[in-house]
Every structure is written in C-alpha cells, then in structure tokens.
Amino acid sequence: MQLALITVVAFVCQWASWRIKLPAILPLLLSGLLLGSVAGLIQPKQLFGDLLLPGVSLAVSIILFEGALTLRFSEIRGLEKTVRRLVTWGALITWGVVTLSAWGLLNLPLELALLFGALVVVTGPTVIVPLLRSVRPKASVARLLRWEGIVIDPLGAILAVLAYELVVATGQQGALLHGLWLFFQAIAVGAAMGGAVALALSALLSRHLVPEYLRSFLVLSSVIGSFVLSNSISEESGLVTVTVAGIVMANRKGVRTDDILHFKENLSVMLISVLFIVLAARLEMEQLLSLGATALLVLAIIQLVARPLSVWVATLGSSLNWREKALLAWIAPRGIVAAAVSALFAQRLEENGVAGAELLVPLTFMVIIGTVALQSVTARPLARLLKVAEPGPRGFLIIGANPVARAIGQTLSQNNFPVILTDSSWESIRTARMEGLPTFYGNPVSSHADQYLDLVGYGKLLGLSPRRELNTMATMRYRLEFGEPNVYSLPWQSEKEEKHDVAAHHRGATLFGPDMTYARLASLLSQGADIRKTRITEEFDFKAYLAVENRQVWPLFAVDSKDRIHVFTSESQPEPRAGWSVIGLIKEEQSAEENGDQAS
C-alpha cells in the first residue's frame, strides 16, 4: 500500500506541476511531509530498511548521468571560464558564507556548519530545467545554469565528504590534511574511471558490438557498476564518475545517445519523484518547525548574499551584462543531491553520536523548499523586469522531419524564423541534420521532451507529420504552452462519419487550406513545386500575386512590415498589403509550345 501510494502521489505531483508550470519538487516535498510526518501513511525506514540509502545513492547516480548526457561543449563556447569559476570559486564562496552564517546564527559546531555549507553548495538540475522552461531567460543564462547545476553536484558531494571527515575526526591531528587527500583522491578516481567508462561504452556502441535492444541496458548497468566500484575505491567519487562519463559520451563524435536518453527519461522522472517523496517523508515536521526565525535568516543570507557574491566573482571579465548577472545571481534552487547526501551523512553522524546532527536534514530541506518556492514564483517576473527573458517567441516547433517538414523548415529558417524539427525516425532526423536544420530526436510529447527540448524563442507549432495522431497529441500538448491560436496541423480527408474524425479544438487550426493534406504537399514538391518568398507592392498586390499566368500558387505564410509572420489556415486568411511578403508553394505550368517541344 505504501509503495502504491508513493507511486500514485508522485504522478499526481508531476502532472500538477506541469499544469501550473512550476518545478515538481515543491508539490513532491510537501506531499512527502504530509504523508510521512503528518499523516504517518509512509514510513520509509520501516518500508525500505537498510536498502533505503543505497537505493537513494544508485538513483542519484542515474539521474546525474542522464543530465550529464545533455551537456555539450558547443553550447558554452565563450563562457567556459564562467562555468569553471561558478563550480570552483563560486562554490567555495557559497560554502564559506553559509558556514559562517550557520556557525554564528544557529550556534552549530564549526565542523557541522562546514558540512551544512557543503551540502547547500549544490544547485539542482532536477529543478533548474523546469524553472528555465517557465522563465525562458536568454540562452547564455540558461546554459550557464544548466551546466552549473549538473557539474557542481558531484563537487558539492565531495566537499561534503571533506567536511564529514573534519566532523568525525575533530581534535585528531592531521584531520584537515586527511580530508583534503580524500577530496582530491575522489576527483582523480572519479575523473579517471568516468573517462574510461565513457570511452569503453563509446567503442561498444559505435562499433555496434551490442544489439540495439541491449544498448540502453548496457549503459544503465555500466553506470550503476562504475558508480559502485568508484565509491568502493574512494568515497563519493562515484558521482564524479557518472558525471564525467555522461559529459564525455555527449561530446564524442559518432556516438548516438538519443535512444539512450529516450529510454531513461521515464526512469529518471519516476526516480526523482519517488526520491523526493521518500526523503521528505523521513523528515520530522517538529524538527522543521523548531528551526525558528533564525533559520529563515540563514536562508535569506544564502539567497541575498552567498549567491550574488559567488556569481559576481565567477562572472568577472565575462561577456555577460549586469542584467544577465543579476538573474544568474537570483536563480540557484537546491535539489535532489542536497536532499540525498544530507540524509546519508546525518544518519552516519547520528550513529556516531555527534551532537546537532539531527538538525542537518531539516536545515537542508528548509533551504530546498525555500529556494524552490521563492524562485519559482519570482524568477519569471524578475527576468521580464530585467529584460533578460527571451523576446516574443518567433520560432516554430515542427512536428516531423519528413520532406514536407524539411522544405517548409528550410524556407522559414532562411527568412530568420528559427525552427526545430522533431521526429522519432532516425533516418528523417539524420537527413534534416545533413541539411543544416536543428532537430530533436524523440517524441515531442514525451517526458524527455518536457525536460530537454529547449523551446526558448519558440512560440508556434506546425503539425506536419504524416501521422495524424501525433499531430493531434502535439497540438493538445503545446496548446497551453504556446496558446491555442499558435498551434496548427495539416488537414486530413474528412471521415464519412463525424464520430471517426478528430475534434477541431484538438487538432488546432487547419494549415494552408482544407485540401492541403500531407499527401498533396508531398506530391506537389515531388513534381517540381518549390517554396518561394515574394514581395507585395502597390503595383504588384496580393491579387496579382495569385493571378500570375502559367503557375499555380498556394500561399503558406505572410510576413508583415514589422517582420511578424502570419499563417494561412482554413479558419484565417491574412490580407497581405504593400510592404508585406508572401511565402507560397509555387508550381510553374508549362505552356502549350513547351509541351509540344517535349513531345517532339
């Protein structure tokens, strides 16, 4: 019953967060608290016993590896130094400020304050991505936050190991040197093993030595095995191992990781959801409430002093302007790694009888809940106020990477309207990439797309897939995100009976006209029709454009004098005026003389 309850509540929280466009961690944490400490319906210690913390550790390794697989060096060219500073000097500054505030305000022993500071250094990739989707900051800020959130997690965990060694070795000679040795040893072991695992996996996958249906299983087992082996050599080096392995694989040429990500998307979403509920259920509400106003003051220092100071140091000399730096200084939610590692070390310290160890978990969860709640509500308005949010979206999310979608996508891209083509057919995606079109390999309505499909700057959807059901699902999925007037799909031959047809409000506006089905568009393109942009003037108006002899014209889009694009649909026909341009599908007709010459 407890397992079933956790699973059902986890789904409801994820669905609710999608509806209200807030990171799922907040409803997950609150549900865990209510079901655990308040109602007593979930009791993780009794339910999982000794398997709880090992299970949490393995789950975190899988989540971090998946996040690292999305990090490509090409995304941060020119900002590499800023990323390095954020995860080094920035982390050390945050650690120092939090340690001093916890030591001075909460009266924690210095060693325990050091451990608490190390735990809350890490930001959370599991909450960064959903937050970025709702905030939609400029690409530079979004990429920096995503890179920082994933790379800093293993480093923060190793800092926690260093602080933990100082706590348990208090008063012993050479404790600091021993802790530093463990710190650098963990980084070295993790980096070496992660690189080796990535190279071995890349060789196996690129040479097709493993059948297709076992590729994802191979990677998953390798991640778990290397994580445990690395930890057995050097404590907490396993997180470095899986992060390095993911980054190396993501940036290796000739290694296709899209299908691996597609496999792990549902697994990661489930793991994240279950972890937050289970870890929050272990927390005693009385401990959280007993922290008092002083703990809130520490939270304010983390948000208003530690983060801005670390960002200021990390961005010195960078190309970021003060507005981008300000938003970067505001967004730093804590996530699953902070929660998991705090639970692990708190249990160890309590077993060793360390005074004050019982405060470690509630303090960490207070920071997690506080940062997520505050930044979820305020980040978007702040981005707009600072004018760091992306301007009005003018890009097109195109469902399909087939010949029709590629032809329309090329034309839109050439006219400075960004496009991204999505498809589950690798052949279609590969062809689109060879033509220089941005793509997303996967189902556009999957959980993986929710997490990794970067839609910053995109505001319209074109359902150009020959699969009617996929177009319909996509228009239903993105209608709330883009707005009902901005989702379109191709028409289909009407069913004889209404009960077999898709409802109009589900399929969006009908693209280009009631007869412009996918089959007809594909046929016209194969017969030599092409897509052209034509300028409308006082002398050559829209009627003249449609009436040119010896050609057939099907207008697709109109671009007005302010460079805004309008879509021709069955429900709405733009009226291009002088100064506008029309993008249309044009098929030249041969004259009678030309037909005669060809016949002879």
234-257 tens-digit pLDDT: 877 888 898 889 888 888 877 776
Which neighbouring-strand residues pair with 395? 458
What is the CATH classification number for the domain harbouring 271? Answer: 1.20.1530
- Are residue 309 and residue 351 in the same domain, yes or no? yes
- Are residue 371 and residue 481 in the same domain, yes or no? no
Q: Is the pLDDT of residue 175 over 70?
A: no
Q: In what order do the strands lie in the sheet with 565-567?
A: 530-535, 581-588, 551-559, 565-567
The model's confidence at residue 598, banded by pLDDT at 50, 70 and 90, is: very low
pLDDT, tens digit, for every residue of 439-474? 888 888 776 776 677 776 778 888 888 887 888 888
How many Å apart are CA 181 and CA 162, to the nearest integer? 9
Which neighbouring-strand residues pair with 551? 588
Q: Is the pLDDT of residue 119 over 50?
A: yes
Is residue 148 assigned to a domain?
Answer: yes
The model's confidence at residue 266, banded by pLDDT at 50, 70 and 90, is: low
- Are residue 29 and residue 95 in the same domain, yes or no? yes
pLDDT value of residue 502 = 58
How many Å apart are CA 300 and CA 515, to the nearest integer? 60
pLDDT value of residue 503 = 56
Judge contact between 184 and 161, C-beta under 8 A: no
pLDDT value of residue 501 = 56
The domain boundary, picked from 366, 385, 404, lies at: 385
Is residue 243 assigned to a domain?
Answer: no
How many Å apart are CA 477 and CA 463, to the nearest integer? 12
Tell if the pTM clears 0.75, that is, is over it.
no
Q: Is the pLDDT of residue 233 over 60?
A: yes
Is residue 484 assigned to a domain?
Answer: yes
Q: Is the pLDDT of residue 91 over 80?
A: yes
Q: Is the pLDDT of residue 506 over 80?
A: no
pLDDT value of residue 98 = 92
Q: Which of 83-92, 331-340, 395-404 comes out lowest in average pLDDT?
A: 331-340
Residue 94, domain extent: 2-60+83-171+264-385
Q: Is the pLDDT of residue 509 over 60?
A: yes
The model's confidence at residue 498, banded by pLDDT at 50, 70 and 90, is: low
- Are residue 575 and residue 426 in the same domain, yes or no? yes
Give kind and range of the element (H or E) at residue 549.
Answer: none
How many Å apart are CA 469 and CA 471, to the nearest integer? 5
The CA-based diameter of the chain, rounded to the nearest angstrom, is: 103
| Rounded average pLDDT over 117-135 | 76
pLDDT value of residue 227 = 92
| Rounded average pLDDT over 497-523 | 71
- Are residue 409 and residue 365 in the same domain, yes or no? no
- Are residue 378 and residue 406 in the same domain, yes or no? no
The model's confidence at residue 495, banded by pLDDT at 50, 70 and 90, is: very low
Judge contact between 397 and 445, C-beta under 8 A: no
Q: Is the pLDDT of residue 4 over 60?
A: yes
Burial 132-149 (b: 16+ CB within 10 A, else e): bbebbbbebbbbbbbbbb
Q: Is the pLDDT of residue 228 over 90?
A: yes
Cα 582 vs. chain centroid, distance in angstroms? Answer: 36
- Are residue 296 and residue 410 in the same domain, yes or no? no
How many Å apart are CA 49 and CA 6, to the nearest integer? 16
Q: What is the average pLDDT value for the chain, to the nearest integer? A: 82
- Are residue 379 and residue 511 in the same domain, yes or no? no
Which neighbouring-strand residues pair with 397? 420, 461
What is the CATH classification number for the domain harbouring 512? Answer: 3.40.50.720
The domain boundary, picked from 351, 385, 419, lies at: 385
How many Å apart are CA 253 and CA 403, to the nearest integer? 26
- Per the structure, the count of domains in the chain is 2
Is residue 218 assigned to a domain?
Answer: no
Is residue 295 assigned to a domain?
Answer: yes
Is residue 225 assigned to a domain?
Answer: no
| Rounded average pLDDT over 174-186 | 74
Q: Is the pLDDT of residue 160 over 50?
A: yes
Is residue 209 assigned to a domain?
Answer: no
Judge contact between 424 and 441, C-beta under 8 A: yes
Better pLDDT: 155 or 90: 90
- Are residue 461 and residue 579 in the same domain, yes or no? yes
The domain boundary, picked from 359, 385, 411, lies at: 385
- Are residue 324 and residue 405 in the same domain, yes or no? no
pLDDT over 90 percentage in the chain: 11
How many Å apart are CA 434 and CA 428, to the nearest integer? 10
Cα distances (angstroms) measured from residue 326 to each of 36, 224, 329, 331, 475: 38, 38, 5, 9, 35
The model's confidence at residue 600, banded by pLDDT at 50, 70 and 90, is: very low
- Are residue 473 and residue 498 in the same domain, yes or no? yes
How many Å apart are CA 592 and CA 600, to the nearest integer? 12
pLDDT value of residue 67 = 75
The model's confidence at residue 224, banded by pLDDT at 50, 70 and 90, is: very high
- Are residue 424 and residue 559 in the same domain, yes or no? yes
Handedness of CA 62, 65, 70, 71 (dihedral sign): positive
Q: Is the pLDDT of residue 397 over 80?
A: yes
Is residue 222 assigned to a domain?
Answer: no
Cβ-in-10-Å burial (0-12, 13-18, 19+) of 38 comes to: exposed
| Rounded average pLDDT over 396-412 | 88
